[in-house]
A and B are shown apart, each in its own frame.
Chain A
Amino acid sequence: MKGQLTARQRENRAGLAYLSPTLVVVLVVVVLPILWTIMLAFQRIRLINLRRVGIFGQYTLANLETVLGSPGFWSSLWTTLVYTVGSTLGSIGLGLVAALALRSRFHGRTLVRASVLLPYVAPVVAVAFVWNVLLSPQFGLANDWGVRFLGWDRPIAFLSQREYALNLLGWQVDVPMALLTVIAFETWRYFPFAFLFLLARLQAVPADLEEAARVDGAAPTQIFRHILLPQLGAVIALLSVLRFIMTFNKFDDVYLLTGGGAGTEVVSVRVYEFLTARFDIGAAAAQALVLAAGLVVLLVIYLKFLAPRVEEEEEQ
């Protein structure tokens, strides 16, 4: 039998065979659940009647109507968007600063480079807990020092205060305190990721290109603008997409820091609430589905309208 197969056919078979364990795992634990979620989203399911529902249950749009009709969902979608955009910009911006600062040799560079990656590799539960304690109004270092050295009137509840009246040159501005703190945490935790990729790209930029510009008297900001930035464009675009997707879907960080309170309820935390507090599986699935759909729409918009522009800028 084997002898009758051509080498090409055998290669085809081997390829599929080698990949089959992967396919089975991803199919069973990822693809089928996604399809199932789509079905769940269109059925009235609570935990109580879960055992009785099957593929041929009663399909309905009721969940979707409930979800899309509730004001809480739209505000949480908006929160998710602000949180995602803020964290993506923050982490890439800080990552770029770090990559530029740690690029060339200095004493102790290896150690600093490794330390900078710590927030990214450390367990999220541990670092979220440390931030919680650090920012606590009762026994946190930040508030104690803020009151003692920075002249704050009273401790700031960074993670449990929805709005903070900031006095800016006589103007009262309401700042979404908890949301900003969560964004700051996300920026801190994920800038190392951007840093790694940007640094790797920076080191591949030919040194003589920069040297020539320097000899011609170009200022560092000019070198950055005209030599480095064009080289980094593609990586920054890729990082934006990656960070956007990952933050948009993120659950752990917000859940651990604020539990979704004080104006930080992102959709994934809301889904979790529906699932575990209300046992409303149908509505939870419908929300998760809308979240995924929203992400796909945003990505399509990005790829269609924004991605080509980035490349054009690089050409200049």
Chain B
Amino acid sequence: MTSLIKDRAAFETRVLRVLRPAVITVLALITLFPFLYMLLLSIRPIEELLESPGQLWIGPSEWTLRTYREVLTPAGDGGQGFLGFLANSAIVSVAATLLTLLVSIPGAYAVARLRFVGRRQVHFLFLAVYLFPSILLAIPLFVLFTRLGLRGSLAGLTIVYIAQTVPVSIYMLRNYLATIPQSLEEAAAVDGYSRLQTLRKIILPLAAPAVMANALYVFMIAWNEFLFALLFLVEDRADWTVSLGLAQLSGGIEVSKTVLMAGSVVLTLPIVIIFFAAERLLTEGLTAGADKG
């Protein structure tokens, strides 16, 4: 009996020794390959792709940057105008990030530290943001923004992004703020700091990593967002974000696929750079508290 169990353990260990590297390889392949494919296609002449779609690698001598030039050139000059889309995306995402932090930092501090009426009920409000489909919010917002003249404006979109990201932002920051010892605040109060001064001069510097992770997270959500951009900005090409521009153009047949691949690279690159630069910060921020069960 004992030997049978031992055999099983030995057998499984041996199988896993082979299986594990195989699984890791497959995982790396399925996650990286689509991005590699994107990059390789973006530097290929379109005729070449249509001729031999199964060929993955082409010699560096055949590489072309024409695709990037076409996708970035303004529409007036015969290009696709992605440079303008990039500017729109950047404006909306940066504005949404800064405003979300401005709203959520005091909010998170209140939820983490202060006892007030309705503190326990706040979570139900946040739950509403996630429980209801965004398409449900989209209808009345579409109507409301049409009436207010905010539809078709980057400001309107920014407001929606703030509402979409504030709850998760508060949740992440609250977890972090709760780990800062209360005694620091008491000491600050003894020194005559007001609550706002304590928040700004004591808490905020200590919470800097969490705030940073949070900012990047919000930026990424806003940069990647598609549905509301589609609903609010679709009418005027000058307002398009990169996501919207790529989605609108990829539906047609006028723009060649390799040019659009260059557009995908342009859309994805900022996110990938941010992500690899701050990977540890981001993953720890997202799963804070998860290891407590």
What residues of chain A have their CB less than 8 Å away from a CB belonging to chain B? 8, 11-16, 18-19, 21-23, 25-26, 28-34, 36-37, 40, 50-51, 97-98, 101-102, 106, 112, 114-119, 121-127, 129-134, 138-141, 143-145, 148, 188, 192, 196-197, 200-201, 203-204, 214, 217-222, 231, 234-235, 245-246, 248-249, 251-252, 256, 268, 271-272, 275, 281, 284-285, 288-289, 291-292, 295-296, 299
**6 interchain pairs, CB-CB under 8 A:** A15-B110, A16-B110, A29-B163, A40-B139, A130-B264, A204-B293
| B12, A220: Cβ atoms closer than 8 Å | yes
Closest CB of chain A to B132's CB: distance in Å? 5
Complex Cα distance A106/B20, Å?
11
Complex Cα distance A129/B246, Å?
8
Greatest chain A CB density within 10 A among B31, B246, B264 is at: B31
Complex Cα distance A302/B242, Å?
39
| A249, B132: Cβ atoms closer than 8 Å | yes
A residues in contact with B187, CB < 8 Å: none
Complex Cα distance A243/B53, Å?
35
Complex Cα distance A21/B136, Å?
23
| A19, B27: Cβ atoms closer than 8 Å | no
> For window 243-293 of chain B, which residues contact chain A by CB distance below 8 Å?
243-244, 246-247, 250, 257, 260-261, 264-265, 267-268, 271-272, 275-276, 279, 283, 286-287, 290-293
Q: What does DSSP make chain A's interface, helix, strand, loop or mixed?
A: helix
Interface size class of B (residues with CB under 8 A): 35 or more
A residues in contact with B293, CB < 8 Å: 201, 204, 231, 234-235
| B290, A201: Cβ atoms closer than 8 Å | yes
A residues in contact with B135, CB < 8 Å: 249, 251, 268, 271-272, 288, 291
| B134, A249: Cβ atoms closer than 8 Å | yes
B82 at the interface (CB under 8 A from A): no
| B103, A22: Cβ atoms closer than 8 Å | yes
B residues in contact with A28, CB < 8 Å: 163
| A18, B139: Cβ atoms closer than 8 Å | no
Complex Cα distance A127/B33, Å?
11
| B227, A252: Cβ atoms closer than 8 Å | yes
A residues in contact with B267, CB < 8 Å: 123, 125-126
